[in-house]
Every structure is written in structure tokens, then in C-alpha cells.
């Protein structure tokens, strides 16, 4: 029987083209979604039952679920437990509202477990963004983050970290720090342990260091919207800088190439 043009068009409209894509492309598409949306795809059909567990890039935006800490924490822990253990994690993004009613120590321990999971799976791009109320405490970043030999990009926001050991991030090319108070010792250790660093950004940071030497950095950005005063800063030894930008309401400092 001859199939008409209209019938072919209807068949094309009714076909599930996304499900027919190869797994590698499907997982790349899923990487653009939040983890909750990724998990929900498992109910679409038999084809989708396990494909989500191979997603290489994970986004957990938990800032919209205030007051649901226990349920959300259980979801993230279960999600990570069910991921395919053979997969390397390319990107791990965690946006987390630090609770003020939930057990702070327990919350910090759970978050630490998630970060360690990403490190154990050779994460290359790690972004940790905390949000906190005035009455809540900032969560600390595990020190082993700063000795992860797979990290190529690192972004930290509104968290606490103490660098007592040597920093060793041999592959790190991009570092962005936001809403942090950075001590002189921590800044010195951090920069000295990133021999491949090319891009460096400070957003609304209080930098307690008078002089910074950037031997390998090519792109530098300093942003301060006036919430936190950027300390007086003397930028020196910038032999490779090709791009520098600033958006400052209050800044005291100078640069010297």
C-alpha cells in the first residue's frame, strides 16, 4: 500500500526522536538539566530506565527547597548511590542552602560526603555554592579538594576553608572565588599550588594579602559590588596577563606588571 506524504509526516511527528539518539548524546542532553529532572526521566519508558545513571555532569540546585532538608539530603545521597560507578564525573555543581533549623553538623557531614564522592570519581569541574542566613554557619570545604589531581576548574562561594597542608592542584586552569574572606596564608598556599592556573576571579572577596604574584595567569577579574570591601591589593609579577577586568564600587590598590 502506498504511503502518502501526509501519512509520512504524521509518522514523523509521532516518533520519539530523542529516545532514538545514541546514549552518548542523550546523556549530554541530560547533563544540561537539574538532577531532579534527570532522575524523573527514568519513568518515561524502558529505554530511559537506566540511561540517567551515566550522566557525566551533575547539577544539584537545592536552594529552592527550604524546610525540606531531610528529604532533599536523602534524594542527593540516593541519586549518587545509584549512579553507574564506572563513570567519571566531568562536572559537579552543588548549590546548597545552609539550614538554620536542621542539625548543622549533620548537614555539613552529608555535604562533605557528596563532595568526596565527586573527588573519588575524578571530577574535573567542581562548583560549590552555599547560601546562608545570618544565623547559620558556613560549611567547610574538605581539605582534600585542594589536592585533587583531576581538577581543572574550581569555583567556591560562601564557604569556609583552612589550608593547613600543601596545596597540589597540578591540572587546575580556572579558579573563581566568591563571597569569601581569604587569609594571607591561604591565598599564598592556594596560588603556589596551582602551576597551570590560567584564569583567576575574585567576586566580592575580602583578600587579606597585600601582594599577589601571578606567574601563569592570563585572565584576571576582580568584582566587588560594595558588599565586602576588597582589601588594599598590590598586583605584581603578571608576565602572562592578556585579559584583565574589574567591576568595583570600592577598591584600594594598584597593579604593576
pLDDT band at 254 (very low <50, low <70, confident <90, very high): very low
Q: How many domains does the chain have?
A: 2
Query: What string of DSSP letters covers 182-211?
Result: E-HHHHHHHHHT-TT--EEEEES-EE--SE
Q: Is residue 4 part of a domain?
A: no
Residues 73, 175 within the same domain = no
- Whether residues 124 and 240 share a domain: the answer is no
Summarize pLDDT for 34-59 with one digit per residue, the tens: 898 898 888 787 878 888 888 999 99
Higher-pLDDT residue of 221 and 18 is 221
Among candidate residues 118, 144, 160, the one where a domain is terminated = 160
Kindly tell me if the per-residue pLDDT of 79 is higher than 80: yes
Range of the domain at 42: 21-160
How do residues 167-222 score in pLDDT, each as one tens digit? 999 999 999 999 888 887 888 888 899 999 999 998 888 877 667 777 888 888 88
pLDDT at 107: 81
pLDDT for position 80: 94
110 and 215 in a single domain? The answer is: no
Q: List the end-to-end C-alpha distance of the chain, in Å, as a whole number.
A: 78
Helix (H) or strand (E) holding 24: helix 23-30
Residues 156, 174: one domain? Answer: no
Considering the domain architecture, whether residues 148 and 171 belong to the same structural domain is answered as no
In this structure, are 67 and 128 located in the same domain? yes
Amino acid at each position: 500500500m502506498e504511503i502518502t506524504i501526509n501519512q509520512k509526516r504524521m509518522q514523523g511527528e509521532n516518533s520519539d526522536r530523542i529516545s532514538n539518539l545514541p546514549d552518548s548524546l542523550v546523556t549530554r542532553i541530560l547533563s544540561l538539566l537539574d538532577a531532579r529532572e534527570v532522575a524523573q526521566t527514568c519513568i518515561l519508558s524502558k529505554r530511559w530506565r537506566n540511561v540517567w545513571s551515566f550522566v557525566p555532569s551533575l547539577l544539584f540546585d537545592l536552594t529552592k527547597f527550604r524546610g525540606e532538608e531531610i528529604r532533599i539530603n536523602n534524594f542527593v545521597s540516593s541519586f549518587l548511590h545509584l549512579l553507574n560507578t564506572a563513570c567519571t564525573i566531568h562536572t559537579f555543581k552543588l548549590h546548597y542552602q545552609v539550614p538554620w533549623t536542621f542539625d548543622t553538623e549533620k548537614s555539613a557531614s552529608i555535604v562533605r560526603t557528596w563532595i568526596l564522592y565527586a573527588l573519588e570519581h575524578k571530577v574535573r569541574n567542581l562548583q560549590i555554592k552555599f547560601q546562608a542566613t545570618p544565623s547559620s554557619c558556613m560549611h567547610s570545604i574538605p581539605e582534600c579538594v585542594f589536592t585533587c589531581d583531576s581538577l581543572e576548574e574550581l569555583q567556591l562561594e560562601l564557604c569556609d576553608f583552612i589550608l593547613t597542608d600543601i596545596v597540589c592542584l597540578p591540572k587546575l586552569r580556572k579558579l573563581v572565588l566568591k563571597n569569601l574572606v581569604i587569609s594571607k596564608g591561604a591565598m599564598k598556599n592556594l596560588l603556589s599550588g596551582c602551576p597551570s592556573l590560567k584564569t583567576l576571579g575574585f567576586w566580592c572577596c575580602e583578600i587579606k594579602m597585600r601582594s599577589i604574584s601571578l606567574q601563569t595567569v592570563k585572565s584576571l577579574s576582580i568584582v566587588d559590588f560594595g558588599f565586602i570591601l576588597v582589601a588594599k591589593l598590590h598586583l605584581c609579577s603578571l608576565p602572562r596577563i592578556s585579559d584583565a577586568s574589574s567591576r568595583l564600587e570600592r577598591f584600594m590598590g594598584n597593579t604593576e606588571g
